[in-house]
A and B are shown apart, each in its own frame.
Chain A
Amino acid sequence: MQCGGFRISYRSDERIFDTALPIVGVVLLVAALAVVPRFATTYWLDVMNRIGIAIIGALGLNILVGYTGQISIGHAAFLAVGAYATAILEINAGLPFYLAIPLAALIASGFGLVFGIPSLRLKGLYLAIATLAAHFITSYGIIHWESLTKGVLGLMVPPATVFGIPLDSDGRIYYLIFALVIPATFFAKNLFRTKIGRAFIAIRDRDVAAGVMGVSLYRYKLLAFVISSFYAGMAGGLMAHHSRILFPDAFTLLVAIDYLAMIIIGGLGSILGAIFGAVFMTLLPEVLKLSATSLTGVYPNAFGLIASTRDIVFGLAVILFLMYEPLGLARIWLRVRSYWKLWPYAY
């Protein structure tokens, strides 16, 4: 009799779901996500929506940084391009959202391609600085190309409509966001079972060796930038429909740093990590807000301190994770899970 999980063929080794149980889990999770809007308050729906958008953005960044090893501080710029392209395509070209968002994501990938070109010559630190510069140049463009983006005045985005129903509330836009989160997650998960994904990982681990083994660094580095910025563009398009008004202020360097923090805290090079990180970083300010609300009785000034407390907690979280758990929440999750799997016979 076979006891324990033996992987005796490559097929079984590559499988996403080893047993039926996780499939049931995923189905239950999707079902639970589908009924959330019936129970959640507007506030929590808004939080859920932002988590969904952050998940897509973080998945994209993790494909680039965590899996391919190309450091990018320009993620906020990709988000901005996606968001503004969606809005402009809908307002000026009159496209419906289901065409505008994919097109905007493609435009963002084009941007990613351009941003990625320095990666062919530059590595590590230099690439990080190049993407930093690209961020500033893009945000300059958005602020000053006023005929298209309305600059600092803000750009109003019309609500997306499906069969004449406007998706103008948090409960309605929720379905659009999670209808994209789920395929985005599955695509990312499957990407790393393919040749392309393996090539990304090989480049991250040792680019010269990957090149010697026949991985075209040129093609795959650019492809990583393209896929990553497609995700970011999609997230940006959803942001445009979620907040319905776009300001350049929503895409500062701090946003790019937030996304990097998501994948560091969640776990570099892990799909689950990107999701955990997105949830963590979105919930962090909300938790602070809630605790400030409960503290106002004792300490009336608590609300004024949210922003600075957030900065401190955020910084400390990044520092402590890097020092004590560089593989992030995903690693903690694995440890907890394997502990309970064998419990109570851990040895």
Chain B
Amino acid sequence: MGDQIVFMLQLIITGVAVGGVYSLMALGFVLIFKASSVVNFGPGELVLFGAYIAWATILPMKLPLYVALPLTLVVAILLGLVIERGVLRPLIGEPIISVIMVTFGVASVIRGFLNMTWGSDTRPFPVLFSPEPFHLGPVPVSPVHLWSFVGVLILLAGFSLFFKFSLTGMAMRATADNQQVAQSLGVSVKWVFALSWCIATVVSTLGGIILGSVRGGVDFSLADLGLKVFPVVILGGLDSVAGAIIGGVLIGVLENLSGGYLDPVMGGGVKEVAPFVVLVIILMLRPHGLFGKVEIERV
């Protein structure tokens, strides 16, 4: 019986750790959606990009960590600016299908660029934490999971404070609330759009670094993980930052539990599909999610 409980706790802890990364990705997604009503269908590629840049600066270029990480983040910010300025700003006001497809296009370009530069082999990610598990009560926990979760918590707390108290954060919230009013009060809406993309690429990059060190390597399967953002944001509510964070952890735990318990019964792969089953159920019952604004139009 004790083994059963340890097994479950272990699943939950891993789920929370992975879910924290989903929260980060979902945060980037929700920020973009709130600010500019753009849905980014390539969140995985942003994560992939961050992970590869981090790998490239740390391993082949042999930069020390305190140079490599800021450099990675600067590159991520540049990517955000290029995407927003170059691609999405000209498409403001276009139909949803155009915006969806253009983000697919951007994702494809990023994937092709990474593949062309570094090839598609798995790259060993630098070991940032010791692989030796320690015991939390009876449950073995690997330090990578613990530290990734702590990192996610710090980041999320930082972002909450930023949105609550800084002038820029308030400008972003104002824009999300009402673009016209925000603009008339002197908020540069264009700048907020650009900023939301930059924050999204930065948090995705951090998510990529964390995922890379959790998995011990980066390859293109990281991009598929990015699509888990959709169950997360639908569960949490498309326009809710709190929802993104809670939804991320919930989906992480849920997919681990369903994988752990149903995989032996159903023959594998449940982990990948369970979040999407949840997504469909939520869309049917409560399309605005846990904390989203109710504005679904019924026709």
Do A and B assemble together?
yes
Residues of A in contact with B (beta carbons under 8 Å apart) = 65, 69, 71, 118, 121-126, 128-130, 132-134, 136-137, 140, 143-144, 146, 207-208, 211, 217, 253, 257, 260-261, 264, 268, 305, 307-319, 322-323, 326
For residue B109, which residue of chain A has the nearest CB?
Answer: A315
- A130 to B, closest residue via Cβ: B283
User: Given the known A-B contacts A315-B112, A319-B87, are A217 and B280 also in contact in the complex, defined by CB atoms under 8 Å?
Assistant: no
Q: Does B100 contact A (CB under 8 A)?
A: yes
Most A C-beta atoms less than 10 A away, residue of B108, B269, B279: B108
B104 and chain A: residue at smallest CB distance: A257
Residue from B97, B98, B113, B238 with most neighbouring chain A CB atoms (10 Å): B97
Is B276 touching A133 in the complex (CB atoms < 8 A)? yes
- Say yes or no: A268 contacts B296, CB within 8 Å: no
Tell me which of B94, B107, B115, B231 contacts A307 (CB under 8 A). Answer: B115
A122 shortest CB reach to chain B, Å: 6
Confirm or deny: B116 has a beta carbon within 8 angstroms of a beta carbon on chain A: yes
Point out the residues of chain B lying under 8 angstroms from A128, CB to CB. Answer: 39, 96, 100
The reply to whether A129 and B283 contact each other, CB–CB distance below 8 Å, is yes
CB distance from A181 to the nearest CB of B (A): 25
Q: When chains A and B are docked, how far (Å) is the Cα of A345 from the Cα of B297?
A: 51
B112 touches A319 (CB 8 A): no
Please give, as numbers and ranges, the residues of chain A lying within 8 Å of B106 by CB-CB distance. Answer: 315, 319
Measured between beta carbons, the chain A residues less than 8 angstroms from B135 are: none
- B127 contacts the other chain (Cβ, under 8 Å)? no
- Binary flags per residue of B266-281, CB closer than 8 Å to A gives 1, else 0: 1111001100110110
Report whether A319 and B279 are in contact in the complex, using a CB–CB cutoff of 8 Å.
no
* List of A residues within 8 angstroms of B105 by Cβ: 261, 314-319, 322
Q: Which of B107, B111, B230 is close to A132, meaning CB atoms less than 8 Å apart?
A: B230
Say yes or no: B299 contacts A211, CB within 8 Å. Answer: yes
In the assembled complex, B137 has its CB within 8 A of some CB on chain A: no
* Neighbouring B residues of A133 by C-beta, 8 Å: 230-231, 276-277, 279-280, 283
Candidate in A134, A268, A319, A323 with the most chain B CB atoms within 10 angstroms:
A319
**Are B277 and A123 in contact, with the CB atoms below 8 A?**
no
Cα(A136)–Cα(B105), bound, Å: 20
Q: Which residues of A contact B90 (CB under 8 A)?
A: 323
A305 & B272 in contact (Cβ 8 Å cutoff)? no
Task: Determine whether the beta carbon of A261 is less than 8 Å from that of B101.
Answer: yes
B85-131 with Cβ < 8 A to chain A: 87, 90-91, 94, 96-98, 100-102, 104-116, 120
